[in-house]
């Protein structure tokens, strides 16, 4: 694969594997400096710098050789086809997970980044702090205790059921229940577990931050072959998937925020139509009136529900309650009483 401009390179050290690299137990590299030298040569050739002994001898060679080139343009080194762009992407991913918080993923990925960086030529190494300085993410999140994350992850990896105690807002933790974890779900900045609740015989979402205790059991399980997390959420733009009947949510947005709505991807099956006056009408699947109500209210007066009728009625009641909360009478009664005889001038 690596050809000389005048002749083929000589055979390498004795007892290499089929890739030409000396390997130890379980595929570990016996000679990391050797790997770094190979990466340096690889990088120089990929950048079309046509390295030769004169340019590489100071750090790599002790004998005189001609320059090398690749006989195949698509060739990459085996086992670690990573370049500077890939390393930067891994660093970004590690930092994003760190910013999201609530799981040990960021720590593990950062450690992976640092191990890979040690193997890369100096020209393509990036210090982790450089990546961190170029990213910022500000949003609230529910932190997840590491022992809960580890228990769920291990249950998935080993295929054993998990016994958990789960609490809902404003309620104490319930009795232990046995679940079969299927997948992690990241919604907004919340980590969730998609799992089958054995007692209810139903697949549900569980906020990891709301799991009080989690312990592995000896009961084995397997995820159904036909289970697909994306398919599971196909009828809703949110997280709620229950016994409710799916419906089509249709909302018209004012001209002032329609450009913002057109930029967003709320659901893979969404449809957005523009009207002559600049408004946008969004239509997409939903399965929870409560989630749909929260979605629409976030846009205030700039959103008007067109369908379904039950959501229109729900929001009418909500708007009446809001009107009552902000009526002049309520507002006046909440004003601080002025002290008798006090002057109103500054």
- Report the distance separating Cα 257 and Cα 113, nearest Å: 41
H or E element in which residue 109 lies: helix 105-119
**Total structural domains in the chain?**
4
pLDDT tier for residue 279 given thresholds of 50, 70 and 90: very high
Please indicate whether residue 321 or residue 24 has the higher confidence score (pLDDT). Answer: 321
- Report the distance separating Cα 315 and Cα 33, nearest Å: 67
Domain that holds residue 28: 2-70
Q: Indicate if 33 and 66 belong to the same structural domain.
A: yes
pLDDT digits (tens, 9 = 90+) for 140-195: 778 888 899 999 999 999 999 999 999 988 888 889 999 999 999 887 778 889 99
pLDDT tier for residue 115 given thresholds of 50, 70 and 90: confident
* pLDDT at position 215: 96
Asked whether residue 307 is assigned to any structural domain, the reply reads yes
Q: Indicate if 170 and 124 belong to the same structural domain.
A: no
Is this structure's pTM higher than 0.85?
no
Asked whether residue 334 is assigned to any structural domain, the reply reads no
The CATH number covering residue 290 comes to 3.30.70
Please indicate whether residue 67 or residue 28 has the higher confidence score (pLDDT). Answer: 67
* pLDDT at position 27: 43
- Which of 111, 133, 155 is a domain's end point? 133
Are 128 and 110 in contact by the 8 Å Cβ rule? The answer is yes
Nearest to 121 by CA among 51, 70, 216, 187: 51
Question: Taking 70 as the threshold, does the pLDDT of residue 35 lie above it?
Answer: no
Half-sphere exposure of 212 (CA within 13 A, CB side): 12
Label residue 251 exposed, middle or buried (CB < 10 Å: 0-12, 13-18, 19+). Answer: buried
Distances (CA, A) of 330 to 319, 321, 325: 15, 12, 7
SS3 252: strand
Mean pLDDT of the chain: 76
Are 283 and 250 in contact by the 8 Å Cβ rule? The answer is yes
Distances (CA, A) of 288 to 32, 233, 252: 55, 12, 19
Q: Indicate if 94 and 55 belong to the same structural domain.
A: no
Helix 84-100 to helix 105-119 angle (10° resolution) is 160
- Report the distance separating Cα 70 and Cα 342, nearest Å: 90
């Amino acid at each position: 694969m690596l050809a000389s401009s005048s002749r083929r390179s000589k055979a390498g050290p004795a007892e290499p594997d089929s890739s030409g690299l000396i390997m130890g137990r379980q595929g570990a590299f016996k000679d990391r400096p050797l790997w770094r030298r190979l990466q340096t040569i690889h990088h120089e050739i990929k950048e079309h710098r046509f390295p030769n002994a004169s340019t590489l001898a100071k750090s790599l060679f002790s004998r005189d050789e001609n320059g090398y080139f690749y006989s195949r343009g698509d060739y990459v080194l085996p086992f670690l086809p990573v370049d500077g762009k890939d390393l930067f992407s891994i660093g970004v991913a590690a930092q994003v997970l760190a910013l999201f918080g609530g799981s040990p993923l960021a720590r593990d990925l950062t450690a992976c980044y640092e191990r890979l960086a040690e193997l890369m030529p100096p020209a393509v190494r990036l210090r982790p702090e450089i990546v961190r300085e170029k990213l910022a993410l500000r949003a609230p999140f529910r932190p997840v205790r590491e022992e809960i994350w580890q228990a769920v992850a291990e249950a998935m990896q080993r295929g054993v059921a998990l016994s958990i105690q789960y609490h809902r807002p404003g309620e104490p933790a319930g009795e232990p229940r046995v679940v079969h974890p299927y997948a992690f779900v990241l919604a907004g900045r919340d980590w969730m577990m998609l799992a089958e609740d054995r007692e209810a015989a139903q697949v549900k979402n569980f906020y990891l931050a709301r799991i009080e205790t989690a312990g592995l059991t000896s009961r084995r399980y397997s995820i159904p072959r036909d289970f697909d997390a994306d398919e599971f959420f196909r009828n809703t733009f949110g997280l709620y998937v229950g016994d409710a009947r799916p419906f089509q949510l249709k909302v018209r947005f004012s001209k002032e925020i329609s450009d913002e709505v057109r930029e967003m991807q709320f659901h893979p099956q969404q449809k957005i139509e523009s009207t002559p006056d600049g408004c946008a009408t969004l239509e997409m699947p939903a399965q929870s009136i409560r989630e749909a109500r929260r979605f629409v209210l976030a846009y205030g007066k700039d959103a008007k529900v067109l369908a379904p009728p039950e959501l229109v009625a729900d929001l009418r009641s909500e708007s009446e309650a809001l009107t009552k909360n902000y009526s002049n009478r309520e507002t006046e009664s909440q004003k601080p009483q002025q002290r008798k005889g006090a002057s109103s001038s500054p």
